[in-house]
Amino acid sequence: MTEKLFIVAAPGLEALTARELATLGLTGVTVAGGMELRGGLDSIYRANLHLRTASRILVRLGEFYAAAFSELRKKASRLPWERYLAPGQPVALRATCHKSRLYHSDAVIERVLGAIGDRLGQAAPLSAWDEESEGQPPQGVVIRLANNLCTISVDSSGALLHRRGYRLATAKAPLRETLAAAMVLASGWDGRAPLLDPFCGAGTILIEAALWARRIAPGKARRFTFMDWPGFDASLWEATLAAALAAERPLEAPLLGSDRDAGAIQFAAANAVRADVAADIEFSCRPLSAIAPPPGPGWLITNPPYGVRVSAAKDLRNLYAQFGNILRRRCPGWQVAFLCNSVPLMRQTGFTLERSHSWSNGGVRVYLARGVV
Ligand SMILES: C[S@@+](CC[C@H](N)C(=O)[O-])C[C@H]1O[C@@H](n2cnc3c(N)ncnc32)[C@H](O)[C@@H]1O
């Protein structure tokens, strides 16, 4: 049986997520905020396990017009909830209403919760929707009302997909794993040339680079909500996981990370151990001025500090100028890709750069600046 799936991706990441899906043999339509496609359990399991840049995967349960609460409850109770929820299982509902007769989201949630109870023969306890939950959250249901059209989806992922399970320790301003993976995929690095991150912090970019280059599935060590569905197919999941493990391969190029902060390097090393790529990355505590790149040319993919505070502006200008000077001396001919929120700061490097992607990092608009040293 195939279902309508929606792969949620952060703004600006949709095209990369679509590319990832294509390599899994899944094609769909790219829309704002993600991709729509049709697929069965196999697609749901593989997408959750393998996608590096997606946030979560929703399964469309139903779509219908509802202009009155009684209509909403009646129509929602006809949906096949039993595929995703056991009677009495806690559920977290989130509703958005836009240009619709039913505009009170709490009342919409109450009716859909009632409909679930009607269908399953037992009331479902309502849990809070916690987007940032560290653990395994309850089954999530997303309700969207727009122009009186009600779309109801169930979440298949649970904790957001950037939670791979390896990053317990973070230094200052850590990068979301999905964005770090996006930088690696968008940079053009092919996994064969050396890769250096001289501002590596907790090591997220290098860990994501190692996972991608070794074809390690980012979700192999975590749980997903679909594992709790009454129709969970354990043997299909085991076969999906076994195929992913069999496709892993060794690294072909050195990966090096450094940071001037000794605590950050300790975090990075601990995270790499948990991600099972400790042997693939060499971390060292050193300032930018002491970087020692291996023979190249290789790639620098990095997330230098970028300030939002005006007081730090002069220091940052100096740091970006130093970044340019040091790379010109030690990494001539290397490709560089870095995240930055300010065109004047990018210019301080003296490189000719293109801004190839625009993303949001913790609410700050950032660009991927790419060029050759
Ligand atoms: C935005 S954070 C990088 C975060 C990293 N991508 C992660 O996921 O944790 C910038 C890092 O640059 C480091 N840093 C700042 N100035 C530096 C310098 N002159 N030399 C080396 N590292 C520096 C900071 O210690 C900080 O860890």
Q: What is the mean pLDDT of residues 227-253?
A: 97
Fold match between domain 3-155 and domain 177-216+250-372: no
pLDDT tops 70 at residue 311: no
Atom of ligand 1 nearest to the CA of 261: 25
- Eight-state DSSP code of residue 279: G
Q: Which CATH number fits domain 177-216+250-372: 3.40.50.150, 3.40.50.880, 3.40.50.970, 3.40.190.10?
A: 3.40.50.150
Burial label for 193, CB within 10 Å (0-12, 13-18, 19+), is middle
pLDDT tops 70 at residue 64: yes
Q: pLDDT tens, 221-234?
A: 999 999 999 999 99
Domain 3-155 has CATH 3.30.2130.30: yes
The three-point CA angle 142-104-115 to 5° equals 55
- pLDDT cut 90: percent of the chain above it: 88
pLDDT for 120 equals 97
pLDDT tops 90 at residue 129: no
Closest CA to 335 of 195, 156, 160: 195
Q: Which residues line ligand 1 (CB under 6 A)?
A: 171-175, 199, 201-202, 204-205, 259-261, 264, 287-288, 303, 305, 319
pLDDT tops 90 at residue 296: no
What is the Cα–Cα distance from 272 to 36, expressed in whole angstroms? Answer: 33
Task: Write the DSSP string, 27-78.
Answer: --EEETTEEEEEE-HHHHHHHHHH-SSEEEEEEEEEEEE-SSHHHHHHHHTT
Other C-beta atoms closer than 10 Å to the C-beta of 10 total: 20
pLDDT for 313 equals 82
**What backbone torsions phi and psi does residue 97 show, to the nearest 5 degrees?**
-125, 135
Atom of ligand 1 nearest to the CA of 286: 21
pLDDT for 364 equals 87
- Where in the chain are the domains? 3-155, 177-216+250-372
Q: pLDDT tens, 66-108?
A: 999 999 999 999 999 999 999 999 999 999 999 999 999 999 9
Atom of ligand 1 nearest to the CA of 202: 9
34-39 and 3-9 beta bridge pairing? antiparallel
pLDDT tops 60 at residue 310: no
Q: 130 pLDDT band (50/70/90 cuts)? A: confident
Please list, in sequence order, all residues whose beta carbon lies within 8 angstroms of the beta carbon of residue 3, skipping any fewer than 6 positions away: 38, 39, 40, 44, 59, 60
pLDDT for 172 equals 67
- Eight-state DSSP code of residue 226: G
266 Cα–ligand 1 center, Å: 13
Burial label for 261, CB within 10 Å (0-12, 13-18, 19+), is middle
Dihedral angle of Cα 248, 241, 17, 370, to the nearest 10 degrees:
-20
pLDDT tops 60 at residue 321: yes
Q: Are 68 and 150 in contact (CB under 8 A)?
A: no
Q: Give residue 79's identity as a one-letter amino acid code.
A: L
What is the Cα–Cα distance from 226 to 175, expressed in whole angstroms? Answer: 27
pTM > 0.85: yes
pLDDT for 171 equals 60
353 Cα–ligand 1 center, Å: 21
Q: pLDDT tens, 145-174?
A: 999 999 999 999 999 999 998 887 666 667
Q: What is the mean pLDDT of residues 230-251?
A: 97
Q: Are 251 and 311 in contact (CB under 8 A)?
A: no
Ligand 1 pocket mutation pick from 164, 175, 199, 322 by most atoms within 8 angstroms of CB: 199
283 Cα–ligand 1 center, Å: 13
pLDDT for 363 equals 84
- Average confidence score pLDDT of the chain: 94
11 Cα–ligand 1 center, Å: 25
Using DSSP's 3-state secondary structure scheme, residue 153 falls into: strand
